[in-house]
Amino acid sequence: MSPRRFNDRDIELAGADDHDSCLVYVPAENFKKMQDWQDTRTSIQIGPSKLDEKLVEHVMSVSRWLQNDEIDAVIYVFRERTTLQRWKVDRIAFMTCVFSDLIASDYKHYLNGIKKYKMDPLLLEYGKGELPSHGRTRKLWNVVVDRIGRKKIKEVEAFAQLIPQIVKAVQSSTIRKHLAVTPYTVSIVPMSGLNLRNCHRGVYTLKHIECHLLGLDLSLVDDDNIWRARVKIMWDLWEEATDLELNERMSKYEPPKCKHVECIEL
């Protein structure tokens, strides 16, 4: 089967003046650049992934789930945009698998008793915005942190317990002395009537992250514009993969080293 091709009908779906334009709009001239690139069939490195026909096929399919390569590529772009200060990041920080490993490991020590618990210094570096190196903000985590999760998942519980502790630990001694923190409450955000085709979960995940980042309502993304969201994801990947400054950084990219952990089905 031949790879899914960009066509003009895709771009006709989006408009610059639509209320959801920042999440789904791709100008016609930019869309033409993607069409021209696809004609060359060249593969471009983008962080941990390759922008090639296989990735295009997954992103631009109406019936395929986004897989690890596609999601890793987009999150990599988010982290690099943060590092290069291409958008103002006050609401969200992008982590790596290393951070997840640290949280899981430290939580076991935390459960042995908070009075005996000593936080891993690397977690403090994350809380100060010094890590990850690809995604550095150099901004202290604050008390107000958006959170989203699912009930009865022990891995989410580790985040709910330890993130407030990191927030407190990175504050100045004066603030820390008067700062009382409690575990976050994990709750389900009702999102009924979405993903009726049951193949856009990864797209919704990425766009909801983007909504948190930009301070936008999650309702801006729905089944009516989820296809346009896929086109916008494709453009974001292509734009960054052909960016000279980002290409220079990607040439030095090293995948984060993390410990092997049991796979968790969410």
Q: What structural domains does the chain harbor?
A: 8-87+200-250 (1.10.418), 97-131+149-178 (no CATH)
Q: Which two tokens stand for residue 251?
A: 């040439």
Return the pLDDT at 6: 52
Q: Side chain identity at 217, as an amino acid letter?
A: D
Q: Say which residues have a Cβ less than 8 Å from residue 198's Cβ, sequence separation at least 6.
A: none
Residue 264: the pLDDT is 41
* Closest listed residue to residue 184, CA positions, set 206, 207, 157, 205: 157
Window from 16-25, 31-40, 74-83, 150-159 with minimum mean pLDDT: 150-159
pLDDT tens readout for residues 203-232: 999 999 898 888 889 999 999 999 999 999
261 pLDDT higher than 60: no
CA–CA distances in Å: residue 184 to residues 34, 149, 165, 260, 264: 43, 11, 11, 27, 21
Q: Copy the structure tokens of residue 107.
A: 């939580």
Mean pLDDT of the chain: 80
Q: Which two tokens stand for residue 146?
A: 């958006």
Closest to 212 (Cα-Cα) out of 117, 108, 112, 78: 78
pLDDT at 196 over 90: no
Cβ atoms of residues 175 and 39 within 8 Å = no
pLDDT category at 156 given cuts 50, 70, 90 is confident
Look at residue 155 in the predicted model and tell me its pLDDT.
64
